[in-house]
């Protein structure tokens, strides 16, 4: 059961009154300028109202105000405090920070367990796991610097894209992080209303590694004396797995959140690359496998007439034909970097040795100067042509080659970069793809706010801290725009 909640207007009025009658015991007023400006700009009315759905209205003792708890957790992010324990200790040592959260004195700051309970309430898992017994997981392949870890099962990206597209017609299923997604969507829409984000978005997608505070080796529960026994071990972080960080060229144990970032700017305004949607996955999840669900979820969160999505930009990890097709089917123009150097349409060495050449339209011409008729398209970008002698009505060939009565395959898989709407290699494509650097700037906020330095061991903690950091980055963009 909830008491009456505070509102943004009330706390803004209280802060303005405190600033008019500043107490020197609170410290130097200039030392809290960053926190004060953020508090006078940030809004949490919509989020606190949505959080009421997680509380019973007619039973239980009165709970803590979720409005104050959200402001306190966000203030920890502004202050770059990775640990909740350190964050609560910080609030209890400063009267002014308590006032910014809505508390009169440090004695009103709740215990750390209250914050953990609140975050658990905001991320309701059907079967919360407090640990797992399993064998050490994760592949240890010998990969080069910058190389992406391949998918475990060939064709997995295509199968996932087909499943997601089929399930999108039935509506998206409920997920534990839906409330945090709603919080972030409300803030992103307000960024559009304030003119910080444009109404037409160029989205960039990427993943960012996060290390868990748990051990990747687990704890032994067996009595085996051998060091490398294959018995089950206990892992305190049940969802974390071993993944590959291609940027730092090392393996890590934790998670790989994939995020959608708006990278284009409002005309005449500075750039504010901001995260508008994300999903949390174990570290061994391939970026391409995570994209279909994230794309459908993002479009569902922002299905409003005031927001439109134009381009989807990604690196070579998303250069899969199934993702190109899915992006087009969802109404966006893909701009994915090629995973390997592009080659013009060509035939095999055997066909070249037989004297077969390609016309200006990439149609094979046999040695007798006859165009070869098209037979079919076994897969995107690959065309099959047949020898003219395969038709009974064809004229006899005076000098048949080695490809007589056979087929010739023309490999033109590089054509998808030309037909994408933004041809690869053109100045327009280069300008668009250069916007992808905004993803790194958006991810740096997670590092600058101390989120990646946290030692959490539960998905509900990581999801909440990542969402709050994304929300705070919107607030800080509002402050920069107002200045």
Q: What is the pLDDT of residue 379?
A: 67
Distance between CA 417 and CA 436 in Å, rounded? Answer: 17
Decide if pLDDT at 119 tops 60.
yes
Q: What is the pLDDT of residue 297?
A: 96
Decide if pLDDT at 462 tops 80.
yes
Distance between CA 12 and CA 106 in Å, rounded? Answer: 19
pLDDT tens for each residue of 16-32: 999 999 999 998 999 99
Distance between CA 138 and CA 143 in Å, rounded? Answer: 14
Q: What is the pLDDT of residue 125?
A: 87
Q: Return the half-sphere exposure (C-beta side, CA atoms, 13 A cut-off) of residue 87.
A: 29
Decide if pLDDT at 375 tops 70.
yes
Mean pLDDT to the nearest integer, 401-408? 82
Mean pLDDT to the nearest integer, 116-127? 91
Check if the beta carbon of residue 88 is closer than 8 Å to that of residue 76.
no
Distance between CA 301 and CA 180 in Å, rounded? Answer: 11
Among residues 85, 456, 453, 450, the alpha carbon closest in space to that of 236 is found at 456
Q: What is the pLDDT of residue 44?
A: 95
pLDDT band at 424 (very low <50, low <70, confident <90, very high): confident
- % of residues, the chain, pLDDT over 70: 95
Among residues 411, 416, 264, 438, the alpha carbon closest in space to that of 339 is found at 416
**What integer best gives the mean pLDDT of the chain?**
88
Among residues 82, 69, 66, the alpha carbon closest in space to that of 455 is found at 82
pLDDT tens for each residue of 335-363: 998 877 677 777 888 888 888 888 887 88
Check if the beta carbon of residue 22 is closer than 8 Å to that of residue 83.
no
pLDDT band at 4 (very low <50, low <70, confident <90, very high): low
Among residues 407, 397, 392, 410, the alpha carbon closest in space to that of 370 is found at 397
Check if the beta carbon of residue 211 is closer than 8 Å to that of residue 108.
no
Among residues 88, 94, 128, the alpha carbon closest in space to that of 109 is found at 88
pLDDT tens for each residue of 73-113: 999 999 999 999 999 999 999 999 999 999 999 999 999 99
| DSSP-derived 3-state class of residue 226 | coil
More confident residue, 409 or 439: 439
Q: What is the pLDDT of residue 359?
A: 86
Decide if pLDDT at 471 tops 90.
yes
Q: What is the pTM of this model?
A: 0.86
Distance between CA 355 and CA 347 in Å, rounded? Answer: 11
Q: How many residues does the chain have?
A: 483
Chain centre distance of CA 306: 22
What's the token pair of residue 380?
Answer: 């995107």
Highest mean pLDDT among 138-147, 149-158, 308-317, 366-375: 308-317
Helices (H), 310-422: 321-329, 349-353
Mean pLDDT to the nearest integer, 407-414? 76
E strands along 91-217, which residues?
A: 132-134, 200-207, 210-211
What's the token pair of residue 183?
Answer: 């919080």
Decide if pLDDT at 428 tops 60.
yes
Q: What is the pLDDT of residue 77?
A: 95
DSSP 247-304: TTTEEEEEE--EEEEE----TTS----EEEEEE--BTTS-HHHHHHHHHHHHHHHT-S
Check if the beta carbon of residue 212 is closer than 8 Å to that of residue 253.
yes
Alpha-carbon torsion 324, 325, 326, 329, what sign?
positive
Decide if pLDDT at 138 tops 70.
no
- Which distant-in-sequence residues (6+ apart) come within 8 Å of 402 by Cβ? 350, 353, 354
């Amino acid at each position: 059961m909830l008491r009456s909640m505070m509102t943004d207007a009330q706390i803004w009025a209280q802060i303005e009154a405190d600033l008019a009658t500043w107490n020197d015991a609170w410290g130097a007023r200039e030392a809290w300028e960053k926190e004060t400006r953020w508090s006078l700009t940030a809004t949490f009315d919509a989020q606190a109202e949505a959080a009421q759905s997680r509380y019973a209205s007619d039973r239980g003792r009165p709970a803590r105000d979720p409005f104050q708890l959200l402001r306190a957790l966000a203030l920890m992010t502004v202050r770059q405090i990775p640990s909740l324990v350190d964050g609560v200790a910080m609030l209890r040592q400063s009267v002014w920070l308590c006032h910014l959260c809505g508390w009169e004195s440090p004695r009103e700051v709740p215990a750390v367990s209250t914050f953990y309970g609140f975050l658990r309430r905001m991320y309701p898992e059907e079967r919360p796991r407090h640990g797992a017994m399993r064998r050490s997981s994760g592949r240890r392949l010998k990969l080069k610097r910058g190389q992406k870890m391949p998918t475990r099962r060939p064709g997995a990206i295509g199968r996932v894209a087909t499943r997601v597209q089929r399930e999108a017609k039935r509506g998206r299923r409920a997920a534990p992080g839906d409330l945090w997604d709603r919080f972030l969507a409300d803030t992103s829409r307000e960024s559009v209303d304030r003119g910080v984000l444009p109404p037409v978005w160029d989205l960039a997608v990427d993943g960012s590694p996060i290390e868990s505070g748990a051990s990747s080796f687990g704890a032994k529960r067996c009595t085996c004396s051998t060091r490398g026994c294959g018995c089950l071990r206990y892992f305190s972080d049940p969802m974390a797995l071993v993944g590959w960080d291609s940027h730092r060229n090392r393996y890590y144990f934790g998670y790989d959140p994939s995020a959608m970032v708006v990278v284009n700017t409002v005309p005449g305004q500075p750039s504010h690359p901001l995260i508008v949607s994300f999903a949390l996955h174990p570290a061994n999840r391939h970026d391409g496998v995570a994209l279909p669900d994230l794309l459908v979820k993002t479009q569902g969160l922002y299905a409003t007439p005031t927001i439109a999505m134009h381009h989807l930009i990604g690196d070579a990890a998303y250069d899969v034909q199934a993702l190109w097709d899915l992006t087009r089917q969802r109404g966006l123009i893909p701009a994915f970097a090629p995973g390997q150097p592009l080659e013009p349409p060509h035939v095999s060495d055997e066909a070249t040795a037989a004297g077969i050449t390609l016309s200006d339209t990439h149609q094979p011409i046999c040695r007798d100067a006859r165009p070869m008729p098209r037979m079919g398209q076994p897969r995107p970008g690959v065309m099959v042509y047949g020898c003219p002698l395969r038709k009974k009505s064809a004229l006899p060939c005076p000098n048949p080659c080695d490809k007589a009565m056979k087929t010739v395959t023309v490999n033109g898989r590089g054509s998808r970069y030309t037909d994408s709407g933004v041809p690869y290699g053109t100045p327009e494509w280069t300008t668009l793809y250069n916007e992808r650097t905004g993803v790194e700037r958006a991810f740096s906020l997670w590092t600058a706010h101390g989120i990646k330095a946290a030692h959490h061991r539960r998905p509900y903690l990581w999801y909440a801290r990542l969402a709050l950091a994304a929300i705070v980055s919107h607030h800080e963009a509002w402050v920069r725009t107002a200045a």
